[in-house]
Amino acid sequence: MTRGVAILGSTGSIGTTALRVLARQRERFRISALTAHSNAALLEEQVAQFHPAYVGLVRPNGGAGAWRTGPECLVEAASRKDVDVVLNAVVGAAGLDATLAALERGKRVALANKETLVMGGELVSQASARGGGEIVPVDSEHSAILQCIGSRPRSEVRRLVITASGGPFRDWPREKLETATLADALRHPTWRMGRKITVDSATLANKALEVIEAHYLFGISYDRIDVVVHPQSVVHSFVEFVDGSVIAQMGMPSMELPVLYALTHPERVHDAGVPPYDPVEMSPLTFERVRWDDFPALRLGIKAGRAGGALPAVFNAANEEAVAQFLDGRITFGGIARAIEGAMRSLTNRSADSLEALRAADCAARTYVKEMVAC
C-alpha cells in the first residue's frame, strides 16, 4: 500500500526537490495534497504531473479553478485522512498551524520548516504527545544526528556537534561584512536554497535556528550542542557518545537524501538519487572555529533558546522581518543582527504556553523591526 504525502510549499526549493525524489518512489508514496503560496504556474505543472486529490494556493493571482485558496489551505492539507506524511516545506512562521494539526492527528511531519519548531517548540512537543504524531527532520544536520544516534538512549549522548558551511562570508574581514550586498549574501558556496534561508546561512542565524531545533528534536541541553565550521558540507554533523566515540554522517551536499530519509525513516530505500561518495574526490575535509564576534546572530539565537519562553519566537520573527527588509534593500547586512538584538532587548520575555502568546510575541517582534527600519 502506498502512503499519502502532503507537500506544503511544493513550489519552493525543498518542495521541488521532494517531488523529484517522490517521482522515483511511486510504489511507496502517492502525492495526496500540494500547496503553494503564489506560484500558480508551477503548481499547475505539478498538479498535471502528480494528480493530487487536494490543491491549495494561499494567495491566488488570477483564477485558481477548483483549488482551495487562503492561508487555511495548509491546515486543511495537513489534516486530510488520505495523508500519512506531511512534508512541511513552507518558509517561516506561517507553517506552525499545519505542523500542530498534523501532529495532533497522529501523522508524521517531515519537517523542513525549522522556524516553527524554534517558535513553538513546547507547543509542538505537546501536540505530538497528545496526538501521537512524530517529527522527522529534513534539515541535513538533524537528519545526520538522527542517523548517528540510531536507537541509542539519549543518556549515552555526550554532545552534538552541528556543522556549518560558514556561508559566503566565512573568510570575509569583519569591516567588509557590514555592507555586504544582497548579491553577495545570495551566493552560497555549497547549497542552492530559497532566499530567506540563504541569507540566514550568511548571517549564521540559520545555525542558531538549527541549535534550537536540535534541542527540541533530541532533548539535549544547550550546553551539550556545539557548532563547527566545515566549508565542504560533506560531514553533515557529529554525535559524541559518553565513551568518547564520535560518529559522523557524511554524503554529498544534496537535499535529496535527507528529504527521502525523512519519509522512509528508519528504513533505507534504493534510488535516493545521491551521487556515489568518493572520499578522495571530496578531500580534504577541513574544520574551523566559529567567528562568534563577527556573526552575532548565532550567539543571539542561542541566547534566546537558552532563555526559553517566548524569546525564541521573538528571535525568529525579528530575524524573518529583518531578512525581508534586507531582501527589499531597506537595511544593510549588518542591520539584520542589530534588528534582532534590538527586538530581544526591548521586548519583555513572557511565557509561551499558548498559541496566542506565541502570536503576540511574533507580532511584537515584527512591529519592533518595522518601526526601527522606518525611523
Which member of 22, 55, 87, 94 binds ligand NDP (CB under 6 A)?
A: 94
To ligand NDP, the closest distance from the beta carbon of 175 in angstroms equals 29
Nearer to ligand NDP, 71 or 158 (CB): 71
Strand order in the sheet with 157-164: 225-229, 157-164, 235-241, 246-250
Q: Enumerate residues 201-260 that contact ligand NDP by CB under 6 A.
A: 255
Based on the shown chain and the rule CB under 6 A, indicate whether residue 113 belongs to the binding site for ligand NDP.
yes
Instruction: Pick between residue 141 and residue 362 the one whose CB is nearest to Mg ion.
Output: 141
C-alpha 344/C-alpha 323 separation (Å) is 16
Q: How many CB atoms lie within 10 A of CB 311?
A: 24
**Which amino acid would we find at residue 149?**
I
Partner from Mg ion, ligand NDP, none contacting 321, C-beta within 5 to 8 A by type: none
**Minimal distance, residue 236 CB to Mg ion, in Å:** 8
Among 55, 78, 90, 157, binds ligand NDP (CB under 6 A): 90
Find the binding residues for ligand NDP in span 31-70 (CB under 6 A).
36-39, 58
Name the residues that contact Mg ion, by CB under 5 A.
139, 141
Indicate the residue among 88 and 128 with the shorter CB distance to ligand NDP. 88
12 touching ligand NDP, by CB under 6 A: yes
Name which of 235 and 240 has its Cβ closer to ligand NDP. Answer: 235
Choice between 10 and 249, CB closer to ligand NDP = 10
139 part of the interface to ligand NDP, by CB under 6 A: yes
Question: Based on CB atoms, which residue is closest to ligand NDP, 191 or 222?
Answer: 191
Q: Is the dihedral of CA 65, 70, 74, 75 positive or negative?
A: negative
Q: Confirm or reject binding of residue 365 to ligand NDP (CB under 6 A).
A: no
Stretch that binds ligand NDP, among 12-20, 125-133, 218-226, 271-279 (CB under 6 A): 12-20
By CB under 6 A, the count of residues binding ligand NDP is: 28
Q: How far is the CB of 70 from ligand NDP (least distance, A)?
A: 10
* Bridge partner residues of 241 (DSSP): 157
Among 273, 314, 266, 263, residue whose Cα is nearest residue 84: 263
Could you tell me the smallest distance in angstroms from the CB atom of residue 49 to Mg ion? 28
Residues 160-199 that bind ligand NDP (CB under 6 A): 191, 193-194, 196-197
Q: Which is nearer to Mg ion, 73 or 199 (CB)?
A: 199
Cell numbers for 115: 522556524
Cβ atoms within 10 Å of 305's Cβ, excluding its own? 23
Taking the least distance from each CB to ligand NDP, the nearer of 23 and 129 is: 23
Rounded to whole angstroms, how far apart are CA atoms 287 and 232? 9
Neighbour count for residue 233 (Cβ, 10 Å):
21
How far is the CA of 165 from the CAs of 14, 201, 279, in angstroms?
Answer: 18, 8, 18
Q: Measured between alpha carbons, how far is 113 from 91 in angstroms, rounded to an integer?
A: 6
Residue nearest to ligand NDP (CB): 12
Q: Which of 105, 206, 106 is nearest to 165 (CA)?
A: 206
Is the Cβ of residue 7 or residue 144 nearer to Mg ion in the bound state? Answer: 144
Partner in contact with 37, chosen from ligand NDP, Mg ion, none, beta carbon below 5 to 8 Å by kind: ligand NDP
Point out which span in 106-114, 236-244, 273-281, 337-345 binds ligand NDP (CB under 6 A): 106-114
Question: Which of ligand NDP, Mg ion, none binds 9 (CB below 5-8 Å, type-dependent)?
Answer: ligand NDP
Q: Which residues bind ligand NDP (CB under 6 A)?
A: 9-15, 36-39, 58, 74, 89-91, 94, 112-115, 139, 191, 193-194, 196-197, 255
